[in-house]
A and B are shown apart, each in its own frame.
Chain A
Amino acid sequence: MNDSFEQLKNELATVRMTDGERARIGHFLRVAVTTPTSHAVSTRTWVLRHAFATGSLAVLLMVGGVAVSASSAHPEDALYGFRTQVNDRIEEALARDDDAWFDVQVRQMERQLNDEVFVSDEFEADEQERLDEQNGDEELLNDARDQSDETDGGEDKEDTQSLRRGDEEDDRTADADLEEARRIERDLGDEEEAAGEASISL
């Protein structure tokens, strides 16, 4: 058996490339060797390589930061959708076995319950605020009405007084005009009397 195998081993040593195959690979190697290669990387290539790596790292950090921020997001937060659609799905995917998956489900259910309590509390707070505003508005309205009544009477008094003063001035003016008119009549009467006397004497 060993002789047979030794014979096979000797025959295996004859396995080799053909001349054409050897020349083909040799030519390829000569081309590769003589082609100038520079380890210096162009600035553009360096920037592109590092930009891609940096950009990828920045994206990973942003996503990771968003995920961390979203982990405590409430229904009204902007990242709430990220938490429910991304964080929770990742948490489920990372669960290694059935027990871990069950724990994940329990945690998510607790979070959902807390979310509902949060929404309920927020609704009640909103309602109370709305009622407060409404009550406040009514008070303000009543106050405004009260103030309005007071200011309206005062204004009337002022107007009345103003009118009275105006009337009084008008009266004084009218009196003055009347007096003036009488004086003029008197003067005219005197002139006519004088004219009549003059004609008689003629």
Chain B
Amino acid sequence: MDRPTEQQLTSAYDEHGDAIFRFCYAHTGDRERALDLTQETFVRVWRALSGGTVIERIRPFLYTTARHACIDAARRPATESLERLQEDGFDVADEQTLDPLLSTEVARVIRCIARLDEPYREAVALRYVSDLMPREIAEVIGESENVISVRITRGLQKLRELLHL
């Protein structure tokens, strides 16, 4: 791959890596899966760049790719058995098991966002986790701005119910 393309990918990762990770984390509620999906997102971007795709605006392209990666991952069948998880120390009954790297409240918010139904989850995640404007979210999801605004409003209402705010 030529140097400009490599530099484009590297700079995109440096600038938007954490934001993509946050989005994937809000979508899945699981840190490890979010890391895998972040890596998958940038690999797909690299494939597009190496394939000759000209990306004029990298940020919407990254979020579109991350969204597709999350959707594909959700469609894949679960490969881990509950028994194996319990052998690794996972306690099904313990709902307080949260990401130790996050504050309790933030981890709780992340988990509640992940529990939202689609299409509200991704709208809320893109707006309040990734801090995208409704216009940008409309471009990523492929819906009109009005539809996005309605989804964000309804998604926030459901999130408040889950957070008991």
**Which residues of A does B touch, CB under 8 Å?**
1, 4-5, 8-9, 11-18, 21-22, 24-26, 28-30, 32-33, 37, 39
Contact status of A33 and B156, CB under 8 A, knowing A1-B165, A12-B22, A25-B38: no
Task: Name the contact of B18 in the complex, choosing from A1, A17, A30 (C-beta under 8 A).
Answer: A17
The answer on a CB contact under 8 Å between B165 and A15 is no
Interface of A is mostly: helix
The answer on a CB contact under 8 Å between A5 and B165 is yes
4 closest A-B pairs by beta carbon, nearest first, are A16-B18, A11-B106, A25-B39, A15-B22
Tell me if B105 is interfacial: C-beta within 8 Å of chain A: yes
Task: Name the contact of A29 in the complex, choosing from B25, B46, B51 (C-beta under 8 A).
Answer: B46
Contact status of A8 and B105, CB under 8 A, knowing A29-B13, A29-B46, A33-B1: yes
The answer on a CB contact under 8 Å between A29 and B43 is yes
Whole-angstrom distance between the alpha carbons of A37 and B105 in the complex? 45
Q: In the complex, which residue of chain B has the Cβ closest to the Cβ of A7?
A: B105
For A37, list chain B residues within 8 Å (CB): 1, 50
Whole-angstrom distance between the alpha carbons of A9 and B131 in the complex? 9
B44 CB to closest chain A CB, in angstroms? 11
* Chain B residues within 8 Å of chain A by Cβ, number: 33
The answer on a CB contact under 8 Å between B160 and A1 is yes
**Which residues of B does A touch, CB under 8 Å?**
1, 6, 9-10, 13, 17-18, 21-22, 25-26, 35, 38-39, 42-43, 46, 50-51, 101-103, 105-106, 109-110, 128-129, 131, 156, 160, 163, 165
The answer on a CB contact under 8 Å between A16 and B21 is yes
Q: In the complex, which residue of chain B has the Cβ closest to the Cβ of A30?
A: B10
For B105, list chain A residues within 8 Å (CB): 8, 11
Whole-angstrom distance between the alpha carbons of A25 and B17 in the complex? 9
The answer on a CB contact under 8 Å between A12 and B128 is yes
Whole-angstrom distance between the alpha carbons of A8 and B102 in the complex? 12
A149 CB to closest chain B CB, in angstroms? 91
Q: In the complex, which residue of chain B has the Cβ closest to the Cβ of A33?
A: B6
Task: Name the contact of A16 in the complex, choosing from B1, B22, B26, B39 (C-beta under 8 A).
Answer: B22
The answer on a CB contact under 8 Å between A15 and B102 is yes
For B103, list chain A residues within 8 Å (CB): 11
B161 CB to closest chain A CB, in angstroms? 12
Task: Name the contact of B9 in the complex, choosing from A9, A29, A39 (C-beta under 8 A).
Answer: A29
Contact status of A17 and B35, CB under 8 A, knowing A9-B128, A29-B13: yes
